[in-house]
Structure 1
Amino acid sequence: MSENKIGEKALDSIIGEMIDTVTNSKDEIFEIGEQSRTEFEQLNTELKETKTQVVEIIDEGDKLERQVRFSRMRLSEVSKHFDKYSEGQIREVYEQTHQLQMQLSVKREQEKQLREKRDELEQRLRRLEETVERADALGGKISVVLNYLNKDFRQVSETLEDAREKQAFGLQIIEAQEEERRRLSREIHDGPAQMLANVMLRSELVDRTFRERGVDEAIKEIKDVRKMVRSALYEVRRIIYDLRPMALDDLGLVPTLKKYLATIEEYNTDLEIQFTSHGEEKRLDSKYEVALFRLVQEATQNAVKHAEAKLIHVSFELTRNTVNIVVKDNGKGFDTGQKKEKSFGLVGMKERVEMLEGELSIDSEIGQGTVIMIQVPLNK
């Protein structure tokens, strides 16, 4: 048997093992998702019951507190005019007051325990919800990989020269998938998850602030919580856009850019974004629309997050043969001659432009803002 035949059999065996492994992983992820959904429903029911118990015990505690105040007033009255009451009456009032105070103390402790239980349940629900979302996302991605392995990968294997090239190609796919999962996990954990956790903590302070410091201070806390919610919503929308903006497929590049930049401006109240479009607003090939959108997205995010710009101007020009994009900001700028560590954003932009056979230039000085110019030829 020739070496090529042996190599093909070895490759088919590798592909079969990969398919079996990925299929098993998909089943395991699906099972994790289903278990998490079941537990989520159970915890959600328990949380609703706990919240009801918290409201009931607060009402009971408030009633007892009023009874304690009335009993204390009664005890004070008896103490002032003890000559009018018998020793048994005085003892009865004292014992009643003491008993009510003990009952109130027990109720408040029960209220504290129920509040802690409620907070713990809410945290567990958030973690479970993240687990379900990740399981769904991973399941979808694994389905894509399975489809690739079952169809496209087998076709590619027929054209690869040897098993080493085939193995390297497969490993690159898996590595890219894992890197994307890690990036999304980091972004969700460091962004919306942290923000929502802070919202929960701050929302608990509102009730305490209202009781201890008054309405005005509580309103300030509520305003702060509202700002945090807006930031969390912005981060969620940004992550969705990072995955792929749905409007890009439906509306095209220019309308999607307008909507995206308007969203950034809306959630950054101290930021102004000016967008101008020149030329015909026609649909481009999908690879151009996605790549150009990502370039504008990366340049804008750099201006907002790193340059701390207050004004960003985005110019988009579509001619017959080229696309010209200029993103200018009035941020703090940087030294283009100094290589920054982990400047993956600019590296990714350069790689995208090179893939489109275009040109990218960056003009920036410390304290003078940044101008990014992109020119991409439209190949027929």
Structure 2
Amino acid sequence: MAKIQKINVKSIDEIREEMIETVTSSKSDIFQISEQCRKDYDNMTNELRTIREMMVKLIAEEERLEEQVLKARLKLSELSMNFKDYTEVEVREAYEKAHQLQMDLSINWQYKKQLLDKRADLERRLLGLDETIDRADQLISQISVVMNYLMSDLKLMGEELQNAKAKQDFGLKIIEAQEEERKRLSRDIHDGPAQMLANVIMRSDLVDRVYREQGPEEAFKEIGSFKKMVRAALYEVRRIIYDLRPMALDDLGLVPTLRKYLQTIEEYHNKSKIEFTNIGLERRLPVKYEVALFRLIQESVQNALKHANACGIHVRLEMTKNELTVLIKDNGAGFDTTQKKPESFGIIGMRERVELLEGNIAFESKIGKGTSVFIVVPIPA
């Protein structure tokens, strides 16, 4: 009987390995498709930009030609009325010039129509590529969840979780949170530094061309713009690193790090006003408390900016000898606290963080009236 059980376990492991191999291969294929789509998207975007620049020139040329054609027609009208006053050569040249201008205008129209058709086609294809890239990113994220679940050893969790259902839910929740964070980081890097550096490369080629065609003065202007783009890219990289783990948290503690973080976020979201008030004691806490409280406030502020579109946020922190109280209040869209939504996982995660600190958290919100988050955590002696 024991032998049969061993064979079954081995068969399950073999099936599991085959599934992992298949899923890994599929993930790689989807990633390649996604990368190719991104390259095609960037190339088409550049082509579309070129077409738009050409359209501007064509429209200007069209206006010039139409003006010239009108003058030529007026000239022909004058010739026909005073035919005897002009030589045969002058008449022929006037007709040939009018004909040539009309031909040039017709060619301009045809070329403009071709560019308009091509622009419309590129815009349709870009829309399709954008949808494909989003779908590929979603699939990669979902496949990563499956992969991590297949490869994770959930036996260690079995001692702490009483049944298989709870064990499965807990494991998937952790994996989903990890994948969501990776996806957010990937999106931040792609939309921020990666895009900026791509523009830097394009502008570096432009500097060389401007120097050759327009001289050093114009080239220096482009270099100035070039430097601004590099500084902006560096700022984005530092912001992302700061969001991952503020180094000042280890060196300075919770309050100075919060003050700096909120100031940085306010500068980045220049349309939002963020106020920070610290009352009472200002002292260092155990590392796990400082990290957890920083993440809770960070999550609340990001939710207010990203989901509630708040333009005003107030963070109030009060520390006494025995407990720490935090209030994060915004004037955003608010939400119905009685309605459970799929995206409430963020709130669940915040509750779990506070429970680990043996504290309490409460949410007050009304649609159109903003949201208030109250956190109370006991401070260890």
What TM bracket, shorter-length normalisation? 0.5 to 0.7
**Alpha carbons of structure 1 residues 370 and 158: separation in structure 2 relative to 1, 3 Å:** closer
**Gapped regions of structure 1 (runs ≥ 5):** 193-232
CA contact (8 A) 1:361 1:373 kept: yes
Q: How does 1:12-161 map to 2 (within 5 A)?
A: 12-36=13-37, 39=40, 43=44, 50=51, 54=55, 57=58, 61=62, 64-65=65-66, 67-79=68-80, 81-85=82-86, 90=91, 93-94=94-95, 96-118=97-119, 120-121=121-122, 124=125, 152-153=152-153, 156=156
Aligned position for 1:214: none
CA contact (8 A) 1:247 1:256 kept: no
**Alpha carbons of structure 1 residues 367 and 289: separation in structure 2 relative to 1, 3 Å:** same
Matched to 1:21, the amino acid is: T
Q: How many residue pairs get matched? A: 326
Aligned position for 1:313: 314
CA contact (8 A) 1:248 1:256 kept: no
Report SS of the residue matched to 1:374: strand
| C-alpha distance in 2 between matches for 1:76 and 1:163 | 97
CA contact (8 A) 2:335 2:365 kept: yes
CA contact (8 A) 1:248 1:289 kept: no
| C-alpha distance in 2 between matches for 1:88 and 1:19 | 85
Report SS of the residue matched to 2:153: helix
Matched to 2:153, the amino acid is: F
**Alpha carbons of structure 1 residues 372 and 21: separation in structure 2 relative to 1, 3 Å:** same
**Alpha carbons of structure 1 residues 12 and 123: separation in structure 2 relative to 1, 3 Å:** same
| C-alpha distance in 2 between matches for 1:169 and 1:347 | 13
Report SS of the residue matched to 2:313: strand
Aligned position for 1:340: 339
**Alpha carbons of structure 1 residues 10 and 356: separation in structure 2 relative to 1, 3 Å:** farther
**Once the 2 structures are TM-superposed, how far is the Cα of residue 85 of structure 1 from its aligned partner?**
3.0
CA contact (8 A) 2:255 2:282 kept: no
**Gapped regions of structure 2 (runs ≥ 5):** 192-231
| C-alpha distance in 2 between matches for 1:48 and 1:270 | 29
| C-alpha distance in 1 between matches for 2:170 and 2:14 | 14
Q: Does 1:251 align with 2:230?
A: no
TM-score norm. by structure 1 comes to 0.59
Aligned position for 1:375: 376
Aligned position for 1:176: 176
Report SS of the residue matched to 2:245: helix
Report SS of the residue matched to 1:153: coil
**Once the 2 structures are TM-superposed, how far is the Cα of residue 23 of structure 1 from its aligned partner?**
1.7
Matched to 2:245, the amino acid is: L
TM-score norm. by structure 2 comes to 0.58
| C-alpha distance in 1 between matches for 2:126 and 2:140 | 21
1:26-65 deviations in Å (ceiling 9; x for gaps):
3213432453355457646755765675576557546534
| C-alpha distance in 2 between matches for 1:361 and 1:34 | 43
CA contact (8 A) 1:7 1:163 kept: no
Report SS of the residue matched to 2:111: helix
Greater RCO between the two (CA within 8 Å, min separation 6)? 1
CA contact (8 A) 1:333 1:367 kept: yes
**Once the 2 structures are TM-superposed, how far is the Cα of residue 71 of structure 1 from its aligned partner?**
1.9
1:165-207 deviations in Å (ceiling 9; x for gaps):
69946983698379849x96xx99xxx8xxxxxxxxxxxxxxx
**Alpha carbons of structure 1 residues 164 and 311: separation in structure 2 relative to 1, 3 Å:** closer
| C-alpha distance in 2 between matches for 1:274 and 1:175 | 34
| C-alpha distance in 1 between matches for 2:57 and 2:269 | 41
Matched to 2:176, the amino acid is: A
**Once the 2 structures are TM-superposed, how far is the Cα of residue 107 of structure 1 from its aligned partner?**
0.6
Aligned position for 2:296: 295
**Once the 2 structures are TM-superposed, how far is the Cα of residue 360 of structure 1 from its aligned partner?**
1.3
**Alpha carbons of structure 1 residues 311 and 162: separation in structure 2 relative to 1, 3 Å:** closer
| C-alpha distance in 1 between matches for 2:148 and 2:160 | 19
Aligned position for 2:263: 262
**Alpha carbons of structure 1 residues 74 and 245: separation in structure 2 relative to 1, 3 Å:** same
**Once the 2 structures are TM-superposed, how far is the Cα of residue 314 of structure 1 from its aligned partner?**
0.2
**Once the 2 structures are TM-superposed, how far is the Cα of residue 374 of structure 1 from its aligned partner?**
0.3
| C-alpha distance in 1 between matches for 2:282 and 2:178 | 40
| C-alpha distance in 2 between matches for 1:276 and 1:248 | 22
**Once the 2 structures are TM-superposed, how far is the Cα of residue 326 of structure 1 from its aligned partner?**
0.9
**Once the 2 structures are TM-superposed, how far is the Cα of residue 250 of structure 1 from its aligned partner?**
2.5
Report SS of the residue matched to 2:362: strand
CA contact (8 A) 1:19 1:146 kept: yes
Matched to 1:103, the amino acid is: D
CA contact (8 A) 1:312 1:330 kept: yes
Matched to 1:113, the amino acid is: Q
CA contact (8 A) 1:7 1:162 kept: no
CA contact (8 A) 2:318 2:324 kept: yes
**Alpha carbons of structure 1 residues 291 and 95: separation in structure 2 relative to 1, 3 Å:** farther
**Alpha carbons of structure 1 residues 97 and 379: separation in structure 2 relative to 1, 3 Å:** farther
| C-alpha distance in 2 between matches for 1:43 and 1:332 | 37
